[in-house]
A = this chain, B = another copy of it.
């Protein structure tokens, strides 16, 4: 039974812009993102006519629309990512380039607020006739870019474009107006963002209305006409409050759930929470890869049947992994439960991160967990949603680190750096996190409130961690009533004085992972994880091995070695196959950054007759 509960408040996110990341792991990624990836993506948007389409639509240059109807979104996503980069480090030339593009976008907006270069140029008479044509998807990404750029620079120009577009939607669609079930979700979460920055209630209400439109037979267009897809492909098969199972296109599903988790904070509709909880369990318990990848099938870029998790043919779109992080971050804020931050972490260090080369200029769209050697990152895609999603995912990675709880602060992700957080009571607390995570499980957290005071600090105990030590640098062990475990967090509720330092030591052993037996592809196989990092066997470094022609004992020990010079600095695991061949495991996210060759995450398990049992 649905009810309205305005106590559905949850935790508050902490913007990445207040998180100064220092540690090598993310710092290097951010530098490459800034120095390479943004430029690469802007160049691609330029050379593929994605940017020019706006100029043509705006009448600024001659020409016609080139590319696919959703190509506007890639430009918006690169702008969003560039805005995030500007938030942490000013860059006048990048800002000038964005300003130039903003002018083109603005020019492309029609007088009633409509904005979608494809329709303006190619099919003005077919606007709003096919819900698969990504009109609002494009618009959603414009809104996200506009919000980001406004936050980064204070410039309203793109934000005004976004508001006019949202107002246009609001004028055309809504109760008593036209129906609309957008084929690719995105607009709904974007409207919540726009509400948050403008304070205009109508934006989140339009987002809610768009969510509520789904599952009532309003869908019209290409998806609904294709019998092998149908309404489930874009989550239009049931009303969102009745969702029980994850279905259809993976990215669309994740964006939908992300929006639901956003909207419910405003609507207080507990039916949404219940639907989210159901579909989260269904997604994570039966339809998620070890890497956090989701959506096994190329056919629908999405879900098939429970436990269908093939490795070589895994689709696991990079965007879907990123969207899982988006959704799970919201679920963490909604429920204050570390198990969702576990999934965010899984995407951060595996499924999402694998999508980009260490050099920052090559991308995976598809992320299999096994390859005979034919699968490689490339520079760009015809449909290039994944590179442009990475451009906005990575610079904002710091947003996952902390949250503001009712009584203090939660540390959700471990990354070396510092931040200043305004707690719910207005108290400002500076935190300095020192750690070599994800390679080491030791974290020192210096707590520096403006003044001494009592509040809670929650430290997530990752799902992979079975044993931890927590103490205060000065006082040693914490009292039994100073540290309790709750929903995946160590809760330290005490009086903090500036400079108090918490020492957290998370056991980070090499772990043999077994798949649940229903997952046929992994039967008789094991995988190796250490901390949050899933490992793989790459042919490079293991030249003596052939694809799937070796086995690993579940008890095999590994030498844990950090190699600063390898793959941007990784901890490798050196051991032996059951056949006695030397074996080096490297992080999955870093695969295909050297010579081409095979790769496997799930390897054959050797029956270990040598070992005693109980």
Contacts and interface: CB of A to CB of B under 8 A. Distances in A.
Chain A residues touching B, majority SS: mixed
Interface stretch (A123-131, A190-198, A379-387, A509-517): A509-517
Interface in A510-545: 510-513, 515-516, 519, 522, 530
Given A557-B465, A557-B485, A576-B485, A516 B610 contact: no
A45 to B, nearest CB: 36
A339 interface: yes
B509 A573 contact: no
B614 A288 contact: yes
Given A461-B557, A483-B559, A557-B485, A509 B612 contact: no
B511 A466 contact: yes
Nearest to A488: B557
Contacts of A364: none
Interface string A450-481: 00000000000101011111100000010010
A466 B519 contact: no
A289 interface: yes
B557 A466 contact: yes
A555 B614 contact: no
Contacts of A160: none
Given A467-B558, A467-B560, A561-B477, A612 B284 contact: yes
A612 to B, nearest CB: 4
Among A468, A485, A516, which residue has the most Cβ atoms of chain B within 10 A?
A: A485
A186 interface: no
Nearest to A511: B466
Contacts of A286: 613
Contacts of A274: none
Contacts of A467: 509-510, 530, 557-560, 573
A612 B309 contact: no
A162 interface: no
A342 interface: yes
Nearest to A285: B613
A490 B574 CA distance: 12
Nearest to A530: B467
Interface in A491-511: 507-511
Interface residues of A, number: 53
B612 A343 contact: yes
Contact of A470 (B289, B290, B483, B559): B559
A96 interface: no
B612 A339 contact: yes
A507 B560 contact: yes
B507 A509 contact: yes
Nearest to A478: B559
Nearest to A506: B557
B557 A468 contact: yes
A519 B614 contact: yes
A422 to B, nearest CB: 30
Nearest to A470: B559
A1 interface: no
A549 interface: no
Interface in A304-343: 309, 339, 342-343
B466 A512 contact: yes
Contacts of A555: 463, 466
A290 to B, nearest CB: 4
Interface string A590-614: 0000000000000000000111111
A268 interface: no
A13 interface: no
Given A284-B612, A614-B309, A466 B509 contact: yes
Interface of A: 281, 284-286, 288-290, 309, 339, 342-343, 461, 463, 465-470, 477, 480, 483, 485, 490, 507-513, 515-516, 519, 522, 530, 555-561, 573-576, 609-614
Given A284-B613, A286-B613, A483-B559, 4 more contacts: A343-B612, A467-B560, A467-B573, A485-B575
